[in-house]
Structure 1
Amino acid sequence: MTALDRTLHRPGAGIRFRDGGGDGRSVVFLHGAGMDHTMFLAAADAAQAAGFRAVLCDLRGHGESDLGAGVRFTADDALDDVLALLDALELDRPVLVGHSLGGNLAQAFVRAHPQRTGGLIAVDSTWNAGPLSGIERFGLSLAAPMLALIPASRLPGIMARASAVDPAAVAEITRVFARMPKKTFLDVWRATVSFVDPDPEYRTPVPLGLIRGAEDRTGNIAKAMPAWADAEGVHERVIPRAGHVVTLDASDAASRAILEVLDGFALA
């Protein structure tokens, strides 16, 4: 597959994407906050080679996708962008594969548009509808103000070291994070937090897959994802020797796990 080669023009943004094409079931990859489509390159190529129609994109304000002058990143705009991309490509109930923010975004999209999606794979993402303790709620409220105190020059490295265990992955994450202005990243973070909306009665209405790195220590993911798996009765795939950005820490293992979930959806 080639690099991102098309642009979806949206209010206040240009969304860069690529469509692998073909007659296979469509799979849309949504990257994490501060990252870009490159974190899913290997997985998308593996899915395309396995017969799926893999779609990669950069979320607005990330990577090759721009934001208009004075435009802020919001959760609502990101959700609308996903819907517009599905409409533009005429995708029939694609599987959404989302990492971290992309996973929160995908969950929110499925919740809002269950008839438009055929499956959800959350990768190192917290459970939007899951319960939160008082300490977790307090931590969420403090996260953006605490991040705002970190100097912009230090923020990419700090985020990268918290997100990966492999030195090459840390270096790559640092490089990608450094492309985003701090002000935009704080807006992205606030949008991510806004997707967390506990509802003890809610269950995912489409096939669900859960994948995380065994050494992911960000937020409450190590606690929330196993609880989510138990609540929904699904198998959580935990990849050893990998942190939050599992697709860079353990690229081959992450790609295999995603394909295993996709194949399981096909058999369901």
Structure 2
Amino acid sequence: MTFDLSPIDRAKFVAARRSCNFVENGMRIGLGSGSTAAWMVRCLGERVRTEGLDIIGVPTSSRTADLARQLGIRVASLDEVKWLDITIDGADEFDENLNLIKGGGGASLQEKIVATASDRMVVIADVAKEVKALGAFPLPLETVPFGWQTTKALVEETLVNMDVLGREATLRMNDDVPFVTDEGNYILDLHLKRIGNPRQLSLVLNQIPGIVENGLFIDICDAVVIGHGDGTVEVRDFNAGTVTEEQIDILESDNIFADGDD
């Protein structure tokens, strides 16, 4: 018997569960942020509880850190572990070259630092996150609060010369105040609609004073695990050039995950 999950949550869950097969005893693991990554953290927590899996998790947000501790996963900072065996994280969009947009949850800066300090990055996503061209999802720019309106104007001016369809930049809000990241910064969301040259755009944006980092992940992701609502997963390993499919069964014993509210 399976427990009741919506098709989208089922897709996220099976992708998260399959990604945990990459994790071995003794690994140092970057723990991503967001709804799909939260399923992965829960799956790892279950392995810690039932198998005695010995791992160290380096969270990419305070929310992920809290969840990992609740589930019995040992947590450390990146400065403590220095380097990671693998990072497993979600994505807001990914294309056929495994370029990503991340940062919908406001943690892309820490996510990028952790991912690039890893031997391997595996992305977990539902099938709806795959796109032909990045840009439908707003591109986050983590921005220092000082002079953010000037930074916004410089960004919009710079976008005139970029291969994008939209140039609107908006300050991300938390109710009636600016959203503040774990690093104390603001986020500008760029509504670009389509990004013709992600690599060029990433390089140019990071040259603008006030921009800390952008949410484009270029040449960072090594594999993607794509979940479907029927419980199947597709694993694309970019480095190995392989694509595999399998069915992930969701059993009544998996009810430990049914209370997730991410």
CA radius of gyration, larger in: 2
Normalising by structure 1, we get a TM-score of 0.36
| Structure (1 or 2) with the greater helix fraction | 1
Q: With a CA cutoff of 8 Å and minimum separation of 6, indicate the structure with the bigger relative contact order.
A: 2
